[in-house]
């Protein structure tokens, strides 16, 4: 442990502050990703509202990236990063204040969450790019993903147990929504703490330069195609666990327990990968993540039962971090190369990347909403996931093509 702490301290202070800030905010993410969807399902019989909320989130993200690009000319990046974290609590309060979960109300709350994610991820991506280099990015993303995995164990377990106990023990006069209100307060408090800490990093804004472009190097165009394939799966990766568990397994207690058990097994693997994997391993890691996603989706399609859901979740909890720990360093390496070649602000690529993701997210979420509303929720939950996973598998071959050009 002492040697690990010493190794952590050997890295630059901005990188350490960014990691610690993200550690605190990592406690917020499982609540947003799992239990906002659970809240919608508890208070509405329309399953598509869960995906509509997620689509609204994804709609707000690229728009906020664009706004963020202009604000960076006059506002410190740490303040924008703080705003992104704080808005997550505001979005949940907006959701809780709705008397009826209408499509418009859900979309509005989701759009605020999209603003939160937009300010968070736009500046997080830039800060990660500028506080790391290619030699320590595997360590950075390994540690960060390890944080998210550990919180993915503890937070769903605690939050799910709290909601389940409220339901079973008739706490708050049996009003389970009160438990969700307390979780919202928890999110807001942690967001404030993370927002305070980030100002200790003395981060520098990007240099003022044009950031909105429409023509790019062919290497970046390939990266955009890979981002679209990643985006196709993202809507399902975020919403599928909640919808499947609450539909086929149990209530919030089961949701938290299953997610926690599955996350436990991936935590150690992720830390090891971040510590020992090298740039040349990224392609293999990404391919394994894609295959696991397909296998998990196949289990769900073939079995469509509580067992199928558990097997899917187990595959997904390994697949998701494997995909992220490989994808982001590839993305940043491409940005390094193309930005130097074209002489542009790195943020221009981060912004453009979000629009690539959004094209895929719109397709994936749109497919589910159309199937759920005009075919059946059964078809959408059982078969759409496998279709999306197979499409996403194409990303492994696209990543291979990119890797050859950047010599990973």
The answer on pLDDT for 408 being more than 60 is no
121 — pLDDT class (breaks 50, 70, 90): confident
Q: What is the pLDDT of residue 273?
A: 75
Q: What is the pLDDT of residues 210-234, one digit of tens each?
A: 778 888 899 999 999 999 999 999 8
Q: Reduce the DSSP state of residue 17 to 3 states and report it.
A: helix
Q: Residue 174: CB partners within 8 Å, gap ≥ 6?
A: 167
Q: What is the pLDDT of residue 138?
A: 77
Q: What is the pLDDT of residues 44-63, one digit of tens each?
A: 888 899 999 999 999 999 99
360 — pLDDT class (breaks 50, 70, 90): very high
Average pLDDT over residues 351-368: 92
Are 123 and 84 spatial neighbours (Cβ–Cβ below 8 Å)? yes
Average pLDDT over residues 345-367: 89
Sequence-ordered alpha helix ranges (H) in 277-383: 282-303, 306-342, 346-374, 377-382
One DSSP character per residue, 76-124 reads: -HHHHHHHHHHHHHHHHHHHHT-SS--HHHHHHHHHHHHHHHHHHHHHH
Are 333 and 280 spatial neighbours (Cβ–Cβ below 8 Å)? no
Average pLDDT over residues 174-182: 91
Q: What is the pLDDT of residues 91-102, one digit of tens each?
A: 998 998 888 899
Q: What is the pLDDT of residues 130-173, one digit of tens each?
A: 888 777 787 888 788 778 777 878 898 899 899 989 988 889 98
One DSSP character per residue, 276-291 reads: H--GGGHHHHHHHHHH
Q: What is the pLDDT of residue 265?
A: 74
Q: Which fold has domain 8-202+215-406?
A: Growth Hormone; Chain: A; (1.20.1250)
Q: What is the pLDDT of residue 1?
A: 65
Mean pLDDT for the chain?
87
One DSSP character per residue, 26-55 reads: HTTHHIIIIIHHHHHHHH-S-THHHHHHHH
Instruction: Name the most confidently modeled range: 67-71, 142-146, 151-155, 202-206.
Output: 67-71
Average pLDDT over residues 319-341: 87
Closest listed residue to residue 65, CA positions, set 28, 137, 114, 30: 114
Using CA atoms, how far apart are residues 136 and 274, in angstroms rounded to an integer? 9
């Amino acid at each position: 442990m002492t040697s690990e702490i010493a190794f952590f301290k050997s890295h630059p202070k901005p990188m350490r502050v960014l990691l610690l800030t993200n550690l605190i905010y990592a406690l917020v993410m499982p609540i947003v990703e799992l239990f906002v969807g659970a809240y919608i399902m508890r208070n509405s019989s329309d399953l598509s509202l869960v995906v509509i909320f997620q689509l609204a989130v994804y709609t707000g993200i690229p728009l906020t990236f664009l706004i963020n690009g202009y604000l960076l000319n006059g506002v410190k990046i740490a303040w924008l990063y703080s705003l992104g974290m704080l808005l997550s609590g505001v979005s949940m309060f907006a959701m809780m204040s709705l008397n009826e979960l209408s499509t418009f109300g859900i979309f509005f709350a989701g759009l605020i969450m999209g603003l939160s994610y937009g300010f968070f991820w736009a500046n997080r991506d830039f800060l990660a790019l500028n506080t790391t280099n290619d030699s320590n990015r595997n360590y950075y993303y390994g540690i960060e993903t390890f944080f998210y995995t550990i919180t993915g164990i503890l937070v769903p377990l605690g939050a799910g147990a709290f909601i389940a106990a409220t339901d079973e023990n008739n706490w708050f006069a049996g009003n389970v929504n009160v438990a969700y209100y307390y979780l919202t307060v928890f999110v807001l408090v942690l967001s404030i703490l993370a927002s305070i800490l980030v100002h200790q990093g003395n981060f520098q804004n990007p240099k003022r330069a044009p950031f909105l472009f429409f023509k790019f190097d062919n290497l970046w165009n390939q990266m955009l195609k890979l981002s679209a394939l990643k985006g196709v799966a993202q809507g399902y990766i975020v919403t599928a666990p909640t919808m499947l568990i609450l539909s086929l397994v149990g209530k919030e207690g089961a949701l938290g327990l299953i997610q926690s058990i599955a996350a436990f097994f991936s935590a150690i693997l992720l830390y090891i990968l971040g510590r020992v994997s090298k740039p040349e391993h990224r392609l293999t890691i990404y391919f394994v993540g894609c295959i696991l996603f397909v296998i998990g989706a196949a289990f769900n399609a073939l079995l469509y039962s509580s067992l199928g859901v558990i097997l899917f979740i187990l595959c997904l909890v390994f697949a998701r971090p494997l995909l992220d720990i490989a994808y982001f360093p590839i993305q940043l390496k491409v940005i390094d190369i193309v930005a130097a070649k074209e002489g542009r602000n790195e943020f221009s690529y981060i912004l453009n990347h979000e629009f690539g993701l959004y094209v895929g997210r719109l397709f994936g979420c749109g497919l589910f909403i159309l199937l759920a509303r005009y075919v059946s929720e059964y078809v959408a939950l059982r078969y759409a996931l496998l279709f999306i996973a197979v499409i996403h598998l194409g990303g492994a071959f696209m990543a291979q093509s990119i890797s050859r050009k950047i010599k990973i």
